[in-house]
Structure 1
Amino acid sequence: MPSQTFTIGELAREFDLTTRAIRFYEDMGLLAPERAGQQRVYTARDRTRLALTLRAKRLGLKLNEVKDILDMYDSPRDTVPQLQRFLGVLGSHRTQLEAQMEELQANLAEIRAQEKQARAALTRASKPKAR
């Protein structure tokens, strides 16, 4: 039974990407399509790697981190170090996002305080002056 293959256009449509974006992922080493003359032929493995790459990007991982993780799964080694590396990357990223969240919450609190002060000043300025 022949394995399923995809053209770059099919993957672009399926994942709502440009063909240029897919070629970029190829240049980064995330995808390795075969060639049939000038045409790229993507396998189910490439399709899965593309889906995982896009999922990891949504999580905010860097492409080099994604590549390292995906490449680990291609190696015949034990999965324990692979999973430990994946957890390490995720943990580091979570820590970074939590720090950004704290900073955003502090900024929002400051904005709310400034809005409250500006509204109070506006209320005072809008009252008719007694003569």
Structure 2
Amino acid sequence: MATYTITELAREFDITPRAIRFYEDQGLISPTREGPSGRNRVYTARERTHLKLTLRGKRLGLSLSDIKSLVDMYDSPKDTEPQLQSFLVVLARHRAALELQREDIEIMLAEISAHEEESQRLLALAGQAREEPSAE
């Protein structure tokens, strides 16, 4: 069975070992311990997958509690009604948040466009004023 060190996972996913330890503290991953006094963390393929799911959830903007629910679902039977209902709730909540963000982004883009047009108009007026001969 393949195992990984914290350094290997940090390098693979381009994150710090500290971030991996944080996810461990949050209960998202649970490596086994080996070596003197259990100092060395050993990650299985399962833990690697949990870390991958966690990082994907973070990229999608999910909260750590939502990610934990999804990671926990990964280990349970995939077709249970409660699991699917819970997953749909998480997705609906995230969709609603993204829709609000999209509305905010569209408003901001419209405001930026208006400022760009006004700035272009003012620059054109300033250029015309420089080109007009003075009446002396």
TM-score, scaled to structure 1: 0.86
Q: 1:12: which partner in 2?
A: 10
Q: The residue matched to 2:27 in structure 1 has which SS?
A: coil
2:42 is paired with a residue whose SS is strand
SS of 2:33's equivalent? strand
1:6–1:28 CA distance, 2 compared to 1 (3 A): same
Q: Counterpart of 1:119 in 2: which secondary structure?
A: helix
Change (3 A) 1:112 1:49: same
Q: Do 1:69 and 1:82's aligned partners in 2 also have CA atoms closer than 8 Å? A: no
SS in 2 for 1:41: strand
Alpha-carbon distance between aligned partners in 1 of 2:51 and 2:57, rounded to the nearest angstrom: 10
Corresponding residue for 1:59?
Answer: 60
Q: CA deviation at 1:35?
A: 0.9
AA partner of residue 61 (structure 1): L
Cα distance in 2, alignment partners of residues 98 and 76 from structure 1: 31
Deviation at residue 46 of structure 1 after TM alignment: 0.6
2:87 maps to 1:86: yes
Instruction: Render the CA deviation track for 1:17-67: whole Å, top value 9, x for unaligned.
Output: 211111111011001111113111111211110111111111111111101
Change (3 A) 1:99 1:77: closer
How many residues align? The count is 129
User: Are 1:72 and 2:77 counterparts?
Assistant: no
TM-score, normalization by structure 2: 0.83
Unpaired segments of 5 or more residues in structure 1?
none
1:34-49 alignment, distance < 5 Å: 34-36=32-34, 37-49=38-50
Percent identical among aligned pairs is: 57
Distance 2:64 2:92 in 1: 16
Q: Which residue of 2 aligns with 1:126?
A: 127
Give structure 2 stretches of 5+ with no counterpart.
none
| Distance change (3 Å), C-alpha of 1:76 and 1:107 | closer
Aligned CA RMSD, in angstroms, stands at: 2.0
Query: Aligned partner of 1:29: which letter?
Result: G
Distance between the aligned counterparts of 1:129 and 1:108, measured in 2? Answer: 38
Q: Secondary structure at the match of 2:89?
A: helix
